[in-house]
Structure 1
Amino acid sequence: MHSWALTCRSWLILTLLAWAAGVLAAPARAVESGLQQQARQFASTSLLAANGTRVEVEVGSLDPRLKLAPCNEIQPYLPANARLWGRTRIGLRCASGPTRWNVFLPVTVKVYAKALVASRALPAGTVIAEADLAQEEVDLAEDSAAALVSPEQAVGRTLERPVSAGRSLRQNHLKARQWFAAGETVQVVAQGPGFRVAGAGQALTAGVEGQPVRIRTESGRILTAEAVGERLVEVNP
């Protein structure tokens, strides 16, 4: 009889503990759900989908060790040096409440659009032909490198690395082009809102795609520019 009473008491204690844990967990889940909803709304309203694109926002979970105090006003924001592209994070801070707090939620932003994919497995060194390409909807934000969207960007280029069938073709899959050699005369273009200035200069270093190049202008000034075409560089004002 004594053993049965102890068993009942133990069962009752465990039941009460489980109930208390559930009562405490329910508000915590509600708080997290509310924060996730605010983060999703913030990301969705901040993103402007261009024509032909489709945007999806996936919001992750808070660190389960966090215990947040009640808050009257929560402000979502984008942290410094973060962008709403691929895997990122959104900050949420309590602007009005008994205890000010600041947390971050992991977010994955997916931007779907038509882009080039490999129609077959392409080994490194392949010179891309139009038959090697197909167009499919891909997540532009799944890679930091820009996706190639038209055959003109890829046909005739050489692959730097292998690409599996169906994979999105990216700028960093291609070998960088050398537009000119050191010592060659190049056209120097500086442009911005409402203006465009062009002149000639001499390349002091080789003009390799995606790398800075040093140019001596006709006046003797040394500039750092970007090689963008055959004997063509651009200077950002």
Structure 2
Amino acid sequence: MHANISHQFRRFSSVLLRFLSSLALIAGGPAAMARPAELSGSAKSVIEQFLMNQANGLPGKVSIRIDTPMSGALPACDNPEPFLPNGARLWGRVSVGVRCSGDGSGASSWTRYVPAYVAVVANYYVASRPLNAGETLSAADFEVRQGDLCALPRGVITNPQQASGMIIANRIAPGAPLRQELLRNATVILQGQNVRVLAQGAGFVVSTEGRAMTNAAAGATIQVKTQAGQMVSGIARADGSVDLPN
């Protein structure tokens, strides 16, 4: 009986192994793993230039790969017009629209969507030690790394001035990227604090005293009650004073 059970087990194992091998061939075979072919034809350079123009001003070095759509190569067109669909993100995996209005000689117009990948390799900043909520960041608390920003979380810090002096809002592990949503501005004015209120114009500066009605970080809007009892709104400065709008 034991021999029969052992035989059945070996037979079941053999069948299972063949089944799993078949799945591996289906899911991981050369056809499934092959990358899409890069786009060929005159439209490729037009799309590349369009994406480079769109990416102008992004931090770091931009590189672009344009793949052939699943529908196949683009039809011939003398003046292809690339465009980005509404709401499309500028970097990472994007779908670029290409339209052709025809040449007036009977050629039909068409619109196709071309897959592309826009990589942005740049410096970004990570925590150099465990950072706890409430700590104030200094230059010694983070270090520079380089990588594709498209593979990193949104809001990653790419300029050290975006981090220095900021307050940690949530704990950040060593080596983790600094992100804007994990930081907040340091409070420079406390509710009830006496502040100097400045109004500036062409060739003059007027200063008065007031009391802050709320806490405020540098650059935030704050309401102040002046000594005359008037409520005014201004911008909190890093030195603890308040600028009134012109």
Report the TM-score, using the length of structure 1 for normalisation. Answer: 0.55
- Where does 1:112-191 land on structure 2 (aligned, <5 Å)? 112-120=121-129, 122=130, 124-125=132-133, 127=135, 128=137, 130-140=139-149, 142-145=152-155, 147-150=157-160, 154=163, 157-182=166-191, 185=195, 187=197
Which has the greater radius of gyration? 2
Q: d(CA) in 1 for partners of 2:146 and 2:211?
A: 43
Q: Does 1:57 align with 2:34?
A: no
Deviation at 1:207, TM superposition (A): 2.2
Give RMSD over aligned pairs. 4.8
Q: 1:48 to 1:204 in 2, by over 3 A?
A: same
Q: 1:114 to 1:33 in 2, by over 3 A?
A: same
Structure 1 portions without partners, runs of 5+: 1-28
Q: Does 1:91 align with 2:72?
A: no
More displaced stretch, 182-191 vs 53-62 = 182-191
Q: Does 1:76 align with 2:94?
A: no
Question: Contact 1:117–1:166 (CA<8 Å) still a contact in 2?
Answer: yes
Deviation at 1:169, TM superposition (A): 1.7
Match of 1:18?
A: none
SS in 2 for 1:229: coil
For 2:181, the aligned partner's letter is N
Deviation at 1:116, TM superposition (A): 2.3
Deviation string for 1:89-108 (max 9, x for gaps)?
53322233544334444544
Q: 1:154 to 1:227 in 2, by over 3 A?
A: same
Deviation string for 1:28-53 (max 9, x for gaps)?
x78x5445553223222444468x93
Q: Does 1:39 align with 2:47?
A: yes
Deviation at 1:75, TM superposition (A): 0.9
Aligned sequence identity (%):
24
Q: d(CA) in 2 for partners of 1:123 and 1:110?
A: 29
Question: Contact 1:116–1:148 (CA<8 Å) still a contact in 2?
Answer: yes
Structure 2 portions without partners, runs of 5+: 1-36
Deviation at 1:222, TM superposition (A): 5.9
Alignment counterpart, residue 110 of structure 1, candidates 114, 119, 135 = 119
Give the aligned length.
Answer: 199
